[in-house]
Amino acid sequence: MNDGPKPRPDNAPKTQPQSKIVPQKNPMPAQDPVVRSKNFNEVALGYSPETAIAEAKRCLQCKKEPCRQGCPVEVDIPAFLKLASQGDFAGAIAKIKEKNALPAVCGRVCPQETQCEKYCTLGKKHEPVGIGRVERFCADWELATGVKIPEVAPPTGFKVAVVGSGPAGLTCAADLAKLGHKVTVFEALHVPGGVLMYGIPEFRLPKAVVQAEVENLKKLGVDIEVNSVVGKFTTVDQLMEEEGYDAVFIGTGAGLPYFMNIPGENLCGVYSANEFLTRTNLMKAYQFPDWDTPIKIGRKVAVLGGGNVAMDAARTALRLGAEESWIVYRRSEKELPARHEEVEHAHEEGVKFAFLTSPTKIFGDDNGVVTAMECLKYELGDPDASGRRSPVPIPGSEYVMEVDTVVVAIGQGPNPLVPRTTKGLEVSKKGNIVANLETGATSKTGVYAGGDVVTGAATVILAMGAGKVGARSIHDYLSKK
């Protein structure tokens, strides 16, 4: 309910008695760093009901709702916080779910500091409201107490295929199903969820939470067909021409791992971050031999890269038993693209950092197993196009770093399978599907796309936003059909 009397005028802090403001976020209870760096249980433990209410009460209920512009799926933040502050968690989660199909996921992994919380009025002088933390609490509360299924419109008779079950595909599917369309999601792997299942580690996003949210989607009538690689068992064209789908949404993500192209990269013990994380998360190698898929980890691990994926890999390596886990990054700490919280967590757990360093060669033993890397030191030069100071190699600074495992986490591109097998689908030079960001429309009539496959590797919530946009456009398209 958003139309009740607003208790405070706009830009509340200025007009409001200072005593009412709680300057700091309620801290998130977390596992002790020493203990958690040896297990795969969730690091952040979640608020108690009391803390959730207290945190929600920090919200000033600003009339202009500046926080909302930071949320790509347009969650009505003040409204849900108000309900939560009154202890009405059922109301709060219902409010969130009007816009967000995966709240338990978003509450955990949204980079809130650059999204909703970035615009929070409180954040100008103090710490912003912990929007994500309260969102997570409400979602977990609902998962624990039983989920209410939202209403679904009567069947329209239209059939829509969604390719890929990452956050983009799942969001698109949920919205279309609510509008009464018959939706089938095709997923290449044996479980739905995309990066949420194979990439983001269990200790940040428990897989049971993802699957619980997926189950809720199924209750909307969405069919999810796993083990279905589009471009192989069928194509987008065949789905539309032979299988009777009226529209298709492509949300196949950015799953193609990049390598450095340096000598020795195919040695044993060199993994892409995708392989390293997929073996661990999707295939549960940390439970080997109870689960059949193994992973081998050396005493000393080097992770190449400085993004969230690199942090996840470095923290995973410690949990798998590495004695030392190093982030090897070309620029300095300041330029690390990873979220602050992730870097902080990595520091706390004992991950080490080699900044201004990049490998040039990997060495192996007689069995072709990694033993060391030759690294070059860098210094920071002038800012490049992105505004970041670009690293310049220091000639003659080569040195050898002994390592037993190398994880390459320097980025991913879009998998070419679907673009290559779809007639008339325009792609960019980098292989991303070209789609209008406002509508999701591609160069092909009836085919929409969104998420990492369009934007390149981004975030869960942006992918979900794109899924929403796609659903809206597909609905319009079908309504005119």
Partner 1 sequence: MYKILEKEVFSPIIKLMVVEAPKVAKSCQAGQFVILRIHEEGERIPLTIADFDRKKGTITIVFQEVGKTTEQLGAMEAGDYIKDFVGPLGLPSHIENFGTVLVVGGGVGIAPVHPIARELKNAGNHVIGVIGSRTKDLMFWEDKMREACSELHVTTDDGSYVRKGFVTDVMKEIIEDTGKDNINLVLAIGPQPMMRACCNLTKEYGLKTIVSLNALMVDGTGMCGCCRVSVGGVTKFVCVDGPEFDGHEVDWLELARRGAYFREEEQRARERAKEEHSCQCECGGGK
Residues that bind ligand FAD (CB under 6 A): 109-111, 163-169, 186-189, 194-195, 199-200, 228-231, 251-253, 255, 277, 308-309, 312, 415, 417-418, 451-453, 457-461, 463
283 touches ligand SF4 by CB under 6 A: no
Which of residues 100, 184, 272, 325 is near ligand SF4 by CB under 6 A?
100
Q: For the chain, how are helix, strand and coil distributed in percent, rounded to 5?
A: 35, 15, 45
The item of ligand FAD, partner 1, ligand SF4, none sharing an interface with residue 73, based on CB under 5 to 8 Å by kind, is ligand SF4
Q: 3 or 366, CB closer to partner 1?
A: 366
Per CB under 6 A, 75 contacts ligand SF4: yes
Report what 60 binds from partner 1, ligand SF4, ligand FAD, none; CB cut-off 5-8 Å by kind.
Answer: ligand SF4
DSSP state of 150: P
Single out the residue of 62, 236, 403, 427 in contact with ligand SF4 (rule: CB under 6 A): 62
Residue 461 interacting with ligand SF4 (CB under 6 A): yes
Quick one: what does residue 23 bind among ligand SF4, ligand FAD, partner 1, none, with the CB cut-off 5 to 8 Å set by partner type?
none
Assess contact for 467 and 439: CB atoms under 8 A.
Answer: no
**With CB cut-offs between 5 and 8 Å by kind, which of partner 1, ligand SF4, ligand FAD, none does residue 21 bind?**
none
Of the two residues 99 and 279, which places its CB atom closer to ligand SF4 in the complex? 99
CB burial string 167-185: b at 16+ within 10 A, e below: bbbbbbbbbbbbbbbbbbb
Select the span of 53-61, 226-234, 237-245, 294-302 touching ligand SF4 (CB under 6 A). Answer: 53-61
Minimum distance from residue 2 beta carbon to partner 1 (Å): 42
CA 129 to chain CA centroid, nearest Å: 21
Residues 135-154 that bind ligand SF4 (CB under 6 A): 135
Question: Closest CB to partner 1 among 37 and 274?
Answer: 274
Q: Which does residue 399 bind out of ligand SF4, partner 1, ligand FAD, none, counting CB within 5 to 8 angstroms by kind? A: none
Least distance CB 416 / partner 1 (angstroms): 8
SS (H, E, C) 341-404: HHHHHHHHHCCEEECCEEEEEEEECCCCEEEEEEEEEEEEEEECCCCCEEEEECCCCCEEEECC
Residue 405: CB minimum distance to partner 1, A? 11
Q: Does residue 60 contact residue 122 with C-beta atoms inside 8 Å?
A: yes
Phi, psi of 201 (to 5 degrees): -65, 150
The residue among 66 and 255 lying less far from partner 1, judged by its C-beta, is 255
Q: Is 65 among the residues that bind ligand SF4 (CB under 6 A)?
A: yes
Strands 223-225 and 182-186: parallel
Q: Give the nearer residue to ligand SF4 in terms of CB position, either 133 or 331.
A: 133
Q: In terms of CB distance, is 84 or 453 closer to ligand FAD?
A: 453
Which token pair is 123? 């954040």
| Residues near partner 1, by CB under 8 A | 188-190, 198, 226-229, 232-234, 255-257, 259, 261, 265-269, 271-272, 274-275, 278-279, 283-284, 287-294, 296, 367-369, 415-417
With CB cut-offs between 5 and 8 Å by kind, which of partner 1, ligand SF4, ligand FAD, none does residue 451 bind? Answer: ligand FAD
Nearest to 336 by CA among 359, 314, 360: 314
In the complex with ligand SF4, the residue whose CB is nearer, 48 or 114, is 114
| Interaction of residue 112 with ligand SF4, rule CB under 6 A | yes
Dihedrals φ, ψ of 133, to 5°? Answer: -65, -40
Site for ligand SF4 in 403-432 (CB under 6 A): none
Helix pair 89-97, 131-145: axis angle to 10 deg: 110
The answer to whether 104 and 140 have CB atoms below 8 angstroms apart is: yes
Compute how many other C-beta atoms are within 10 angstroms of the C-beta atom of residue 190. Answer: 10
- In order of 10, 278, 314, 337, 352, the CA distances from 308 in angstroms are 36, 15, 10, 7, 15
Which of 44, 106, 236, 314 is close enough to bind ligand SF4 by CB under 6 A? 106
Which of residues 37, 121, 308, 442 is near ligand SF4 by CB under 6 A? 121
Backbone torsions φ then ψ of 216, nearest 5 degrees? -65, -35
User: Could you tell me where the beta strands, DSSP code E, fall in 152-304?
Assistant: 159-163, 182-186, 223-225, 247-250, 256-257, 270-272, 300-304
Q: Which CB, 216 or 308, lies closer to ligand FAD?
A: 308
In the block, residue with structure tokens 């190698």: 285
Closer CB to ligand SF4, 106 or 435, in the complex: 106
CB of 281 to ligand SF4, least distance (A): 21
Q: Coil, strand, or helix at residue 448?
A: strand
Dihedral of alpha carbons 264, 279, 340, 431, sign: positive
d(CA 89, CA 64): 24
Question: How far apart (Å, rounded) are the C-alpha atoms in residues 432 and 446?
Answer: 18
Binding site for ligand SF4 (CB under 6 A): 59-62, 65-67, 71, 73, 75, 77-78, 81, 100, 106-107, 110, 112, 115-116, 120-122, 129, 131-132, 135, 461
